Structure 1
Amino acid sequence: MPFIDLKAQYAALKSSVDARIQRVLDHGQYIMGPEVRELEDKLAAHVGVRHCITVSSGTEALLIALMALGLKPGDEVITTPFTFAATAEVIVLLGGVPVFVDILPDTCNIDPHLVEAAITPRTRAIMPVSLYGQVCDMDEINAIAARHGNIPVIEDAAQSFGASYKGRKSCGLSTFGATSFFPSKPLGCYGDGGALFTDDDVLAQAAREIRVHGQSQRYTHTRVGVGGRMDTLQCAVVLAKLERFDWEIARRIEIGARYQALLADLPVQRLAQRPDRDCVWAQFTLQLDQRAAVQAALAAAGIPTAIHYPKPLHQQPAYAAWGCGQSFAHAERAAMRVMSLPMSPDLSVDQQDEVLTALSTALAALNTAPAAE
């Protein structure tokens, strides 16, 4: 069983994907071809913002957002330690200081009540992560930012593109929204890709210039930039995938809800879902004890699993200096207990039942095993 079934997705979209790619091969504009602008227009309309700027990866989206905001060495950015390294990586690359605050134990998203206490005169941005496909508490975070001089907020929405929050879309809820089109994401390409979203005309223009080495026009470099363009071919792939994206999001929500219902009687901790938002389940993640033993049993039954993420950033060697010996109890506990199950829009009922049967059997065996002497 595949952990994420990209082959089934391609089979369903083969004619559209192939035609889109062939069109690029025919016109030969592999860098900043017409598909780039077409995709940006469609994604901006989907999110409900004025500007979408496609970039070369989700990491680059975060980096360019911070550069557009003028992050300088020593500036602080408040974020979560329970995320992929890219969230903190971009802060450190620019000489900034990641300031970690703990997560909520039931959703694994950043705790907004801890954000305010972490603000100092050096705080330049707040970067919450919408983990596993559920938007974090953006209204509370935006209100905190507004009370403290309108601190910019960047939603790291690498896992939540397509999700809704109080009737609005992820990526359209703050100063910047940043997402990834890595192949395993809810909307993925066939390589690396990403996008930035904003309603701010000035920030949008800055981001567009930064992604092409800071050029305001050809060979006129008005600011320091990066090589951050999204390839035309990758934009073509995403355009083809948009044809059934709404269906895929509905399927993710449906499959996630079925997982949640079937897990209700098992000795696992399900992620909480807030009633005012949905979850697009970039990963279907639960928490449980004896994770290694359960993973081994599932692997023996042919069921793949993954851990998102096994070690919080303040415990990673590259970022330990910014943890300053602090303990983030909820992030640390989650890192020891999270486990992700197979999840994709094409996951069948039979496959899902197979996963749940194997999980139930593994948990029952552990609960009945004799205690070690």
Structure 2
Amino acid sequence: MSKRVLILGGRGRVGSHVAADLAAHTDAEITITGRSHQHSKQIPDLGSHVKFIELDLEDRDKLTAVIRGLQTDSGDSRNVVIHCAGPFHYRDGRVLETCINEGVNYVDVSDHPSFTRKAIAYREAAEAAGVTAIVNTGIFPGISNSMVRQSIEQLDTADTVHLSYVVAGSGGAGVTVMRTTFLGLQRPFQAWLNGQWQAVKPYSDREVVEFPAPYGRLGVYWFDVPEAFTIPSAFPVKTVITKFGTVPDFYNFLTWSVARWWHPRLLQTRAVIEFLSHVSHFMTDVTDRFSGIGVAIRVEVSGQKDGNSAKSYATLVHENTAIAAGAGTGSVTQMLLSGKLDKPGVWAIEEALPTALFTQAMHSRSVEIKQSLQMTA
């Protein structure tokens, strides 16, 4: 029988690209969910093995029935539920908990630290149930985390990880990603600096970083992402820096202004977040035609190689951020379906995915990652 995949939130920008990736690279039966049948018409035709069902995640009984049916109908233990229904700041662990109870593997595109912490708390339960659950599998977090692992493995020891991201316009994503950006401005977050946790203000400390063409030198700012705590948990490094920026640069100034001048209570009000998100999405709809919707990632890891100081670099450029996210999540799901990836428990992607499998998956999807090693002393 065919393997089965259930994509929660599969009609969204990222979810639909995950579905497209799986339709292109697997023969799995794919079910996409949304809160209303009227949105099923918005889903591109991906073939007869892709269907739509209506499902609201607030309906716990139906959620359980759908996930249980995924397993019962096929009788295969390698089916997968993919959680793409963000923003994850507002989500609890009910989907993951249901997957554990029903013995179904789990993947998500979560991008908010609070959700990642909720998910990791289920690690022992997933391990006991024999369920492999991989969180943060999109582009950043996701592919970016695996690039860090790849770079760390080029060195004998690693001390500092510097992760920088830049997205052009909307990145091809929907308003949910805009919400995530503004939710990340709500309060200072903890960063791992010089071997201790220190409070950092979001969208502070602008730094100019050299990205590959066509981006070049661009400003990036501190940003609260799951990598800020999952990377120091996975690897014995002393410092992890996570910075983010956008193109055109005036979006950086607007976001910096909100983070610096708006009262924190405003940023913790859902109506304000919705207003900012929809205004930003409207603006990027206009500027996307000039800026594009691509993404660039730059990883710099400092440490030791053969007794000398060294730096390992990895860079990625993709013309469509949402497609890249689909490749990240789709490739992990493909590995779970095939049995190549089997690690019961709940894991951040950099903890679970070996570099050899990661590089093979990126090559199969024509996602080019450039690496270099520089001796600094």
TM-score (ref. length: structure 1): 0.30
Which of 1 and 2 has greater Rg?
A: 1
Task: Name the one with the larger strand percent.
Answer: 2
